[in-house]
Chain A
Amino acid sequence: MIRVQARTEPSTLMTFASPLLAIMLTLIFGSILFSALDKDPIQALHVLLVLPLSDAYNISEMLVKMGPLLLCAVGLSLCYRANMWNIGAEGQLLAGALGGSAVALMFVDSESFMAMPLTLLGGILSGMAWAAIPTYLKVKFNSNLILTTIMLNYIALYLLIWAVHGPLRDPDGFGFPESALFSDATLLPVLSDSGRVHLGVVLAVLLALFAWFILSKTHLGFKIRVYGADEPAATYAGYNAKGISWFVMLFAGALAGLAGVSEVAGPIGQLTPNISPGYGYSAIIVAYLGRLHPAGAIIASVFLAILYMGGDLAQIEMGIPIAVVGMFQGVLLFFLLACDFFIRYRVVSSRENMA
Chain B
Amino acid sequence: MDIDLITQVLFAAIKTGTPLLFIALGEAICEKTGVLNLGQEGMMLMGAVVGFMAAYGTGNAGFGLLGAMLIGMVMSLIFGFLVLHLGANQVATGLALTIFGTGLSAFIGSSVVGQTIAGFQPVYIPVLSDLPVVGKVLFSHDLLVYLAIVLAVVIAWVANKTRVGLTIKAVGENPHAANAIGIKVLRVRYLAVMFGGAMAGLGGAYMSLVYTPMWVENMTAGRGWIALALVVFASWRIGNIVLGAYLFGLASIMHLVLQGMGWSISPNLLAMLPYVATIVVMVIISADKFKEKLLAPRSLGKPFDPRQMA
Contacts and interface: CB of A to CB of B under 8 A. Distances in A.
Given A144-B286, A147-B229, A329-B99, A152 B279 contact: yes
A329 B103 contact: yes
Interface residues of B, number: 49
A159 B283 contact: no
A162 interface: yes
Contact of A337 (B89, B104, B266, B289): B89
B125 interface: no
Nearest to B269: A162
A57 interface: no
Contacts of B228: 147
B286 A337 contact: no
A147 B228 CA distance: 8
Name the interface size band of chain A: 35 or more
A354 interface: no
Contacts of B282: 137, 143-144, 147-148
A142 B275 CA distance: 18
Dominant secondary structure at the B interface = helix
A324 interface: yes
Dominant secondary structure at the A interface = helix
A27 B86 CA distance: 22
Given A147-B225, A162-B268, A334-B96, A6 B103 contact: no
Nearest to B81: A338
A8 to B, nearest CB: 13
B30 interface: no
B99 A288 contact: no
Contacts of B308: 6
Interface of A: 4, 6, 85, 87, 137, 141-144, 146-148, 150-152, 154-155, 158-159, 161-162, 165-166, 281, 284-285, 288, 321, 323-331, 333-334, 337-338, 340-341, 344
Given A147-B228, A154-B221, A162-B268, 18 more contacts: A85-B91, A142-B286, A146-B91, A147-B225, A147-B232, A148-B279, A151-B226, A154-B272, A155-B272, A159-B269, A159-B272, A323-B103, A326-B103, A327-B100, A333-B99, A338-B82, A338-B86, A340-B88
